[in-house]
């Protein structure tokens, strides 16, 4: 879970978490029982146990994440516990919860900008509720490994950043005997830079990146042929307007015209509207997903 | 132009500009550390550090009135070596945004994040 250059992203870690929760592509029909049911039930019961660290059950030990920016399991656990949850690591590597909020010495949770709160509990509860929805269970309804859940819908994960506080959203949709659950973590920003353009630079080796209309020689353009997708539609460039200037007219122009709508906090989008499939490392998804493998 | 006249122009400028968005509560004033001092001035420039206390009652460039009480803090330097005088206004808009309940995204937008 490192910063990516978009506001709305999935990326490798959440792809693996999808696989942990789904164990491949579970059948959406009520029967027959899917082998992945047991893993989903096991994860659900671990989420319901507050003594189990989330970072140990979300697939961070998958070797398919070793090529990313956090190449070891310890790196990935640290990124979640410290940067997302504000937990503290002692010299032995043991983790403790973040300290209570101290008005006399206010600090933010993890790397979230301008926000303090219980991110760990929000993530835990969101994933718990999402699994309950996916399995057709009522909130907190007990279920044991080996039982047959009423259903097993796949879960899709998205991270949306840049709002004042941390939320988890669960949206689901039944389509006949099938269905799909969407989970969106809508979080504060983490200070990482956002690209002012959805276009990847031409010299950046981004394997799955696609764009339409095609700008770069040799680019393939977007396709909806894969099983999964994650596209953004935006203008080519976003940026501030020209800086304000002093004014000779009292009450008009200069710094006393409020900045929203006319000043440095205004964003101006320009250029053509493009459709971009970001590379997975930039928050996109692989057409077949990224598996959880130990 | 006298320093007193320049200071009055600054007061008018602030009240006219901000009064459209923030109905005056205590209105314009020069805050305590500078309240009893003469304007900061030389032969060509006069500077005034000021505050404006009001209630958000007008459409603030798309932000509908919140009825929140705000204090706008700023400083204005008037260049009266020319006619008409030129106003250089420095306002702590970030603080005003916070008072209105606006928040930042926490993600700085840059043109080339991959090069950082």
Q: How far is A1 from chain B (nearest CA, A)?
A: 15
pLDDT of residue A262: 43
pLDDT of residue A244: 55
- From chain A, the residues in CB contact with B17 under 8 A are 250-252, 256-257
Average pLDDT of the residues of chain A: 86
pLDDT surpasses 80 at A203? no
Among chain B residues, CA nearest to A189: B106
Mean pLDDT on A88-117: 92
pLDDT surpasses 60 at B64? yes
pLDDT of residue A241: 62
Which residues fall within 8 angstroms of residue A108, CB to CB, at 6 or more apart?
A86, A114, A115, A116
Please report which confidence band the pLDDT of residue A260 belongs to, taking 50, 70 and 90 as the band edges: very low
pLDDT surpasses 90 at A200? no
- From chain B, the residues in CB contact with A201 under 8 A are 112, 114
Chain B, 44-83: which have a CB under 8 Å from a chain A CB? 60-63, 74, 79
pLDDT surpasses 80 at A42? yes
Tokens for A290, please give them.
């990224």
C-alpha A76/C-alpha A35 separation (Å) is 27
pLDDT of residue A175: 87
- From chain B, the residues in CB contact with A193 under 8 A are 107-110, 113, 116
Closest CA to A11 of A273, A208, A212, A222: A208
Kind and range of the H or E element at B46?
strand B45-56
Q: How far is B36 from chain A (nearest CA, A)?
A: 25
pLDDT surpasses 70 at A69? yes
- How many Cα atoms sit within 13 Å of A126 on the Cβ side? 26
Please report which confidence band the pLDDT of residue A218 belongs to, taking 50, 70 and 90 as the band edges: low
DSSP B115: G
pLDDT surpasses 50 at A280? yes
B107·A258 Cβ contact <8 A: no
Render B3-35 in DSSP notation, one character per residue: HHHHHHHHHHHHHHHHHTTEEEEEEEE--HHHH
Cα B25 to Cα A258, B50, B99, B109, distances in angstroms: 19, 15, 15, 37
B106·A189 Cβ contact <8 A: yes
Among chain A residues, CA nearest to B22: A258
- How many Cα atoms sit within 13 Å of A97 on the Cβ side? 11
Q: Is B61 helix (H, G, I), strand (E, B) or coil?
A: coil
Please report which confidence band the pLDDT of residue A249 belongs to, taking 50, 70 and 90 as the band edges: low
**Chain A residues whose C-beta sits inside 8 Å of any chain B C-beta:** 5, 7, 112-115, 161-164, 188-197, 200-201, 204, 238-239, 246-252, 254-263, 265, 267
**Considering CB atoms only, which of A115, A192, A248 is closest to B85?**
A248
- From chain B, the residues in CB contact with A255 under 8 A are 74, 88-91, 93
Tokens for B46, please give them.
């006069």
pLDDT of residue B49: 95
C-alpha A180/C-alpha B5 separation (Å) is 70
- How many Cα atoms sit within 13 Å of A271 on the Cβ side? 16
């Amino acid at each position: 879970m490192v910063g990516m250059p978009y506001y709305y992203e999935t990326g490798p870690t959440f792809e693996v978490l999808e696989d942990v929760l789904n164990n491949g592509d579970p059948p959406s029909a009520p029967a027959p029982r899917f082998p992945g049911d047991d893993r989903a039930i096991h994860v659900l019961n671990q989420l319901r146990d507050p003594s189990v660290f989330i970072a140990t059950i979300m697939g961070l030990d998958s070797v398919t994440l070793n090529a990313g920016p956090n190449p070891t399991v310890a790196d990935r656990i640290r990124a979640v516990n410290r940067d997302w949850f504000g937990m503290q690591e002692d010299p032995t590597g043991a983790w403790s919860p973040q300290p209570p909020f101290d008005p006399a010495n206010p600090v933010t949770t993890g790397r979230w900008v301008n926000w303090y709160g219980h991110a760990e509990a929000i993530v835990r509860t969101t994933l718990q509720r999402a699994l309950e929805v996916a399995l057709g269970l009522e909130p907190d309804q007990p279920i044991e490994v080996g039982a047959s859940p009423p259903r097993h819908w796949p879960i899709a994960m998205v991270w949306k950043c840049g709002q004042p506080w941390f939320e988890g959203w669960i949206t689901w949709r039944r389509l006949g005997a099938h269905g799909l659950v969407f989970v969106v973590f809508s979080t504060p920003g983490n200070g990482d830079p956002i690209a002012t353009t959805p276009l990847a630079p031409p010299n950046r080796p981004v394997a799955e990146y696609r764009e339409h209309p095609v700008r770069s020689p040799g680019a393939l353009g977007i396709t909806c042929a894969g099983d999964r997708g994650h596209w953004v539609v935006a203008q080519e460039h976003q940026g501030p307007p020209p800086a304000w200037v002093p004014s000779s007219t009292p009450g008009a122009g200069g710094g006393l015209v409020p900045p929203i709508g006319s000043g440095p906090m205004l964003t101006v989008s320009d250029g053509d509207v493009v459709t971009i499939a970001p590379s997975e490392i930039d928050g996109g998804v692989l057409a077949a997903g990224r598996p959880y493998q130990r | 132009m006298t320093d007193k006249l320049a200071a009055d122009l600054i007061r008018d400028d602030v009240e006219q500009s901000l009064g459209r968005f923030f109905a005056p509560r205590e209105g314009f004033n020069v805050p305590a550390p500078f309240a009893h001092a003469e304007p900061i001035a030389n032969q060509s420039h006069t500077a005034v550090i000021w505050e404006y206390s009001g209630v958000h009652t007008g459409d603030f460039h798309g932000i509908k009135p919140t009825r929140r009480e705000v204090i706008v803090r700023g400083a204005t330097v008037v260049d009266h070596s020319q006619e008409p005088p030129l106003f250089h206004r420095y306002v702590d808009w970030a603080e005003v945004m916070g008072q209105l309940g606006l928040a930042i995204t926490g993600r700085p937008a840059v043109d080339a994040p991959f090069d950082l």
